[in-house]
Structure 1
């Protein structure tokens, strides 16, 4: 199947990106080229648990560190005002409750690149009123996008 799109009166620039995805446990690193992002931990998690009616949706704060060529470049606290995005029902049970921090987070200042950002952050698991989350249970899904400079 072929899709054709015609745009009149406007010249579009074609920007290309390398994208990298990873699911990290606390202490894990996402490596891409000579750069890496390390998931240090969850600073706070006040997201409204499933099974509770809250006035405020809450937020989750995670700490990540940035490295280039093995050298520490800095750290950043990522704060998400989070909403339960979806629930997947598989064989009668709920799996993969996801929340997302939303928009792109620029991180090019930590590296020697022009355009690099965290495109998506998902913190798992989502809180449940009947279960306490231990630090070892947290996982951080990251999607990082880096603009490719064309010669």
Structure 2
């Protein structure tokens, strides 16, 4: 009778280890599946330098540097509490047709263009030159905007 108990006990132990092993393997597969199912996101960056009135074309889309609406950046030869910002007006075209204009700030990290295009585009101001000085006024035609357009696919 003792042998029967040992066999039954051994069977329960084997069954416990089999269930535990199966549970561990199932857990590994469940966590591994989402990692392999994720699609890769590709970012394409377009770097642009444009003077006032100039445009940048990419894939049937156009961004035109129309105007510096305001420039309250702290002049180089002055110590300021706040660095200030410049506000820039851009025009947006798709396949040659005007679809809107937008004001963005040099202080904003990323400005989304998604409301104009179905794709995911954002604009990032890198620099606006020349930088102000107290000794001279900047002519509108002297402004040059450096920006980056990021397309996420």
State the TM-score, normalizing by the size of structure 2. Answer: 0.71
Aligned to 1:65, the other structure's residue is in SS state strand
RMSD: 2.0
The structure with the greater share of residues assigned to helix is 2
Over 2 Å off, 4+ runs: 9-14
Structure-1 residue corresponding to 2:149: 144
Does residue 60 (structure 1) correspond to residue 86 (structure 2)? The answer is: yes
Report the structure, 1 or 2, having the larger strand content.
1
Cα distance in 2, alignment partners of residues 119 and 14 from structure 1: 23
Correspondence 1:112 to 2:118 = yes
Deviations 1:90-146 (A, max 9, x none): xxxxxxxxxxx3411111111232x11113432111112222111011011111011
Judge conservation of contact 2:125–2:145 (CA < 8 Å) in 1. Answer: no
Segments of structure 1 that go 5 or more residues without pairing to the other structure are: 1-8, 81-100
User: Which secondary structure state, in structure 2, belongs to the residue aligned with residue 110 of structure 1?
Assistant: coil
Partner of 1:3: none
In structure 2, the gaps of 5 or more residues are 1-31
Instruction: Tell me the equivalent position of 1:71.
Output: 97
- Structure 1 contact 37–67 (Cα < 8 Å) conserved: yes
Contact 1:73 1:111 in 2 (8 A): no
1:46 equivalent to 2:111? Answer no
Confirm whether residue 28 of structure 1 aligns to residue 54 of structure 2.
yes
For residues 50 and 134 of structure 1, the distance between their equivalents in structure 2, rounded to whole angstroms, comes to: 17
Q: Distance in 2 between matches of 1:126 and 1:14?
A: 40
For the residues of structure 2 that align with 1:104 and 1:143, how far apart are their CA atoms? 9
Separation (CA, whole Å) in 1 of partners of 2:39 and 2:143: 39
Larger radius of gyration: 2
Equivalent pair of 1:102/1:121 in contact (CA under 8 Å): no
